[in-house]
Structure 1
């Protein structure tokens, strides 16, 4: 009996040794226990603070829950009513107008500045730091500074121009341009860094060969620079449009959605109606629709922009 037990142990031990030797030969490594101790807390925290609230919001979007008291299931009524709500449609219109204009301006200005910083100019590192400062500042604080500038300083400086003679933030037609100015001013900082990273990946030999062939700076930009930073352009446009569609802080700091509801964004509408307007379920449905819209827009951007990316 003892001999049989020892034989079984030896066999199992030999099998274990063979498995370990096989893993060593194949280069397979078992993750250390510390890996799981580091990953699981982050996964649990993400699920608790992000995934769970999202699922709860989706659940309540099919109810008439006002944020307090009793509630009942009402099916797709909230989603149907969203497309009949003029205020919701106006908020989507403002958000898309703001996002499209701000995205175009941000990328044009950022690329121009990045091209200048990438050239051999004096104190280029200093200017890189200067241009990145807006990104690390609290947007609400800067927003109130811009509010003072638009409402007090600008009317005095440009008093001869009718549009700026009064506070532009109270102009129902043009108040959104002030929000665009603030958004672009802050967003350019991050976009410049991305474009600089892209420009530094282009081999200098390409420009030297183009110069020998007599290519003008504009031809070099259109034939070399622009195609080869296509991936970085895609990243910047997708992130910019997604971020601008979710505009909130800039609107709160400058106009708080006014005059009236002229500059009310989708996120501000969701916040107001959901947390203080007794429309928790209704605005939860709005948030779900908004999430789907942003996802579709981002996927379409990737599909279109990635076709024109070039490799080298």
Structure 2
């Protein structure tokens, strides 16, 4: 091995050490504490084996949080990909001001999630309600974030609005890889726009669809900032996600070891869902 290659390997050591110190080591400690009754402070704790894991499967609060998170993730993933694909198709079809609108649509992705959440919190409570009362629209006359049945819809709206940005750019990148002569051949054959989309466009951007579906699902499953800024888990526990429950229970509720076990289970759930998504969607790519 050349001296130059040795230099390159040595250059990676600081990054590897930082990754291990701030990510790998805390994860290992979390798994370790999940088998104890550690409350997050002090030095005394006992090993209790799998008791935390067993209790998780009988805890209604945890079950409700998982149900909300999975329901939220499925809805957000579907809506984000539908709207971002439609926007990308529109941008790709329009040559004029394409780069300008690409920048406009990407803007939500560079904004802080908390800032966006607090802005929408103000809109839901002080702007949309006034519009509803002025226009006589009953559904807009009250703040949906205070409604136990509709609060999750408000969180979905914010997550979709911000999540569309990145997916749109990825879909647009995929659309620009399709040769124009393919569309010219389809138009000569008399194919309709709908047939063109299903037979040419969608199959050719299938890898980008796989990436967007996995990223959107992963981000939605890890929802946290939107919950903090919009509802703080309320009303009651109606919008309490798993990430929010792990944070509040572990750092504020004295359940550090219990929520460490919850985070281990949650990591496994996210990993399994992501792997299943990739396997299924990649198999679908091959069938197209």
In the TM superposition, residue 307 of structure 1 has moved relative to its aligned partner by 1.2
What is the CA distance between 1:310 and its match in structure 2? 5.2
C-alpha root-mean-square deviation of aligned residues, in Å? Answer: 1.4
Aligned ranges 1:150-161 → 2 under 5 Å: 150-159=124-133, 160-161=136-137
The answer to whether the aligner puts 1:102 opposite 2:66 as a matched pair is no
Where does residue 54 of structure 1 map in the other structure?
27
Select 1:137's aligned residue among 95, 107, 111.
111
1:284–1:127 distance in 2 versus 1, CA, 3 Å: same
Q: Give the secondary-structure state (helix, strand or coil) at the position aligned to 2:80.
A: helix
Q: Secondary structure at the match of 1:32?
A: helix
Match of 2:164 among 188, 208, 215: 188
Whole-Å separation in 2 of the counterparts to 1:188 and 1:31: 43
Q: How many residues align?
A: 285
Please, which of 243, 261, 268 is the counterpart of residue 267 of structure 1?
243
Secondary structure, in 3 states, of the residue corresponding to 1:64? coil
1:309 equivalenced with 2:285 (yes/no): yes
Aligned partners of 1:117 and 1:127 also within 8 Å? yes
TM-score, normalised to structure 1's length? 0.89
Instruction: Determine the C-alpha separation between the residues in 2 that align with 1:138 and 1:123.
Output: 26
What's 2:206 paired with? Answer: 230
Counterpart in the other structure of 1:38: 11
Matches within 5 A, 1:1-312: 31-69=4-42, 70-159=44-133, 160-309=136-285
Gaps of 5+ in 2: none
Q: Is the 8 Å Cα contact of residues 228 and 310 (structure 1) preserved in structure 2?
A: no
TM-score (norm 2): 0.96
1:217 and 1:65 mapped to 2: Cα distance?
Answer: 61
Higher Cα radius of gyration? 1
CA distance in 2, matches of 1:151, 1:120: 37
